[in-house]
Structures are given as structure tokens and as C-alpha cells.
Structure 1
Amino acid sequence: MKIMIVEDDATIREMICESLNKWGFETAAIVDFQDVMGRFAREEPHLVLLDINLPVFDGFYWCSEIRAVSKVPILFISSRNTPMDMIMSMNMGGDDFIQKPFHSDVLIAKINALLRRTYTYMDAQTSAIEHDGILLNLKDGALYQGERKAELTKTEFVIMSLLMRQKGSIVSRTKLMRSLWEDESFVDDNTLTVNIVRLRKKLAELGREDFISTRKGQGYMIE
């Protein structure tokens, strides 16, 4: 999973990145504090670590901006520890608060708890993804078009799930392979191609051979 770090102290930022990387997290550290939302949109992190005191705009501002477009969990990290700071953090849409200085193990524990709570809840609330007549059942991992059904392998399911969750956007081959690696499906470029071909054959059996389109040099897209 990917964690975005919005922290202007380079020493703390590097320490956090190092700790997260050791635990297997991918990190996206902000260094341009005028482009926080642009980077957020490009990186699509699973969680945001957000300082309060930042250049340009403070953490409360960025929290409200993120909350306007996403329900991603936000963990505030700050040396400010007054009750008002903590109340503001929660009222602006933050999910938790950790005071500096903190032990890296405590930070990791809070991150894991937030991720577990957020994504387990989301999975429990969502049983299917549907778009343009095609339904992906998240419980049995199969595709449906009306009464017709196509069984998917685990790898095909991960690919289809990502493409359907990001319908209308191009998903790069690199991003697809990264998601498969995170799911412990260790694929290379050729294996990804084979799985895309198989997915298209199964969609063709459902009468939707054109459901996944290729964007040359960019990736794949469900429109």
C-alpha cells in the first residue's frame, strides 16, 4: 500500500519514509508544497500522513481539500498538541493524531490500524462493481452480464477490479503490475499481457469484447 507524507522537515520526512519502506509500504513524499493536490491525484495513496505547520497552506487546509475529493484515511503528525489542535484535526476530516516526537513503531501501529479499519469496512460495504452492463462480483470473483457469467482467476480479478474502480481513467501497466505484486501475484510484463488477453476473451464471451481499451504507450482503460 502507498502512504503519502506531507511533512516539511526533511529529517523527519526521511525517517518516516525509511520506517515505512522497511515495513513494505510504498511512499510518496511531498517536497513541492504548492502541488499537494496534484501529487495526491497522481499517486492515489491509501493513507496520508499530514503535518499541521506547512509552507504555503497549513495541514488543516490540505485536509479539507483532500476530504472534498476522497475518503482516504488521514493521520495528522504534529508537535502541536493542544486540545484545540486535536479537535480541529478531527473536525477538518482527520482520522487520527500523533504528536511529535514519536516512536516509529507507534506510527506504524497507528497506520496499520487505520488501514485495517478503513479498507476492511469498505470491502464489507461493497459487494460488487458495475459499469455499462458488466458486473464484477467481489464476493465470488466472477464477471456477469445479465444471466451470463465468466469465472476469473485471482490475477484476472485483481486487474479487472483495478480497471473498474478507476473507470474513465487510464491505468498504466506499471500500476497494474504493482497492484499484482502487492497482492502477492508476482507477474512480469509478458504475464500481464497474457492476462489482459484472457480477460478480453472472457469479456467477448459476455458480448463485450471492447470493454477494455488499450491506450498505446500509456496503459488500459474502461470508458
Structure 2
Amino acid sequence: MNREAAKQILIVEDELKLAQLLADYLCDSSFEPHQLHRGDEVLGWLASHPCDLILLDLMLPGLDGLEVCKQIRQHSNIPIIMITARVEEIDRLLGLELGADDYICKPFSPREVVARVKAVIRRVVNQTSSNTNDIQLDGIRLDEEGFKVSKSGFQCELTKVEFYLFHAMFKQPGRIFSRDQLMDIIYDDRHVVSDRTIDSHIKKVRKKIASIGIEESAVHSVYGAGYKYE
């Protein structure tokens, strides 16, 4: 394994045998895994170690995964895959409130976790390489590195998921995107994500852009079809 090129994966899981199993599978796939077993250790570790992706369990001693994710998102866009046995938390985990990039439900196959890690990292790399220039239209500017939208000197910050959702519509004004198409844009695997997930994201995007003087109706709902930017 080329350790210099290996992606650094932080596993935050209090089940020691499970954490080691995931580490073994990730190592076999040319990743370099690291383990923590308490939520209150994560921010301190990140402050002094490079990290390309975090596998973050929901139920942790010290600080639960939801709070850890929330704190990370205050200053970092490191990809986060949440691990949970609580299916009812899925919408929150996928960024409606916290900005997680993906989730995986227990029980799971370690091979599936490795596949999800590869998919999220691939998506981040592709989005970074394709988003080299800011987009501007009608006095509105999208900052594709900072996930910010600005107008007339005012700006708002979106979560990563919200930004890519708005970005897709903004760069193709007038095009109607179905909910399925929008979910395909922002999620690699959405087999338990409902239509209301997109509706919740849209509601939050509208509220944030309205705070800087962009009409909420700019993200327009087309009855029975989906959404468009105009």
C-alpha cells in the first residue's frame, strides 16, 4: 500500500470489535484507518490529524454522533458517513439539520461500508474537480468552495447537500428537476430516502436565500413535476 497516497479514514465507533473489523476491511482496500471510541475525542483528534472521511456512529459515549457531526460542520466540510441502527433518524443524518453526506444502517456488511466510503470520496473528488469556477447569474454568485450564495454584498452559507441541490437548479434556470433527479444528484444511495427529504431541503434553501434578498419563489415548485430555478 502506498501510505502517502492512502486516504485517511477516521472510524468513531464504541464497539471495539466492529471498529477493528471496519479498520481491517478499509486497510485491505488501501485506505489508512484510525479509530476513536468516544464522541468527545473527535474534535481534538481532527485538530492535529489529516482526515479524508469520517465513519461516525450515532450512539457514542461522551458525545453522541449527532452532536459531533453538528460541531464538525461548524468549521469543516470533511465527508461524514453516519452509522446508525435508528432508521427514524435517517432524514436528520442526511443533512436536513446536520450536513452528513451519507448513512449506513446496522447491521451491515463491512464490504458495503467500504463501497460507501469509496462512493462518497469519489463524489467529493468529482465535485471538486468540476467546480473550479464560481457561477454568477443576475447578480447572484455561488461560491463552490465555501458553499455560499451571495447577492449585493450579502451572503448565506448552505450545507453541502443544500448547496449541490441549489447549484444543480441554478446553473440550468428554467429546467424542471423531478424529486428523483434531485435525489440522484445529491445522494449515491437513497433507498430509504423519501420525497419529503427533498422538500425539506428546498424549504431550508428558500429560507436561507431569502435572508440575502433572493425571492423564495426563485426556487419554484412545479405541481406534480418537481422544482426549478427561475
TM-score norm. by structure 1 comes to 0.53
CA distance in 1, matches of 2:100, 2:39: 19
Q: CA deviation at 1:125?
A: 1.9
Q: Which amino acid aligns with 2:120?
A: L
Q: Distance in 2 between matches of 1:2 and 1:74?
A: 12
Q: Is the 8 A contact 1:8 1:54 kept in 2?
A: yes
Equivalent residue, structure 1, for 2:91 = 87
Match of 1:12 in 2: 18
Matching of residues 167-178 of structure 1 within 5 Å: none
1:122-142 deviation per Cα after TM superposition (whole angstroms, max 9, x unaligned): 122237xxxxxxxxxxxxxxx
The aligned length equals: 125
2:67 is aligned to 61
Counting only pairs closer than 5 Å after superposition, residues 1-223 of structure 1 correspond to structure 2 as 1-82=7-88, 85-90=89-94, 91=96, 92-126=98-132
Contact 1:28–1:43 under 8 Å retained in 2: no
Point out where structure 2 has 5 or more consecutive residues left out of the alignment: 1-6, 134-230
CA distance in 2, matches of 1:101, 1:125: 36
Q: Aligned partners of 1:32 and 1:89: how far apart in 2?
A: 19
- Partner residue, 1:162: none
Q: Report the Cα distance in structure 1 between the residues aligned to 2:24 and 2:107, rounded to whole angstroms.
A: 16
CA distance in 2 between counterparts of 1:58 and 1:34 reads 8
Shift of 1:74: 0.6
Distance of 2:48 and 2:37 partners within structure 1:
14
4+ aligned runs moved over 6 Å, structure 1 = none
**SS at the partner of 2:54?**
strand
Give the Cα separation in 2 of the matches to 1:102 and 1:47. 19
Residue type matched to 1:78 in 2? T
Pairwise CA RMSD: 1.4
- Quote how far apart the aligned CAs of 1:32 are: 4.8
Gaps of 5+ in 1: 128-223
Whether the 8 Å contact between 1:73 and 1:115 is mirrored in structure 2 is: yes
- TM-score, normalised via structure 2 length: 0.52
Q: Secondary structure at the match of 2:40?
A: coil
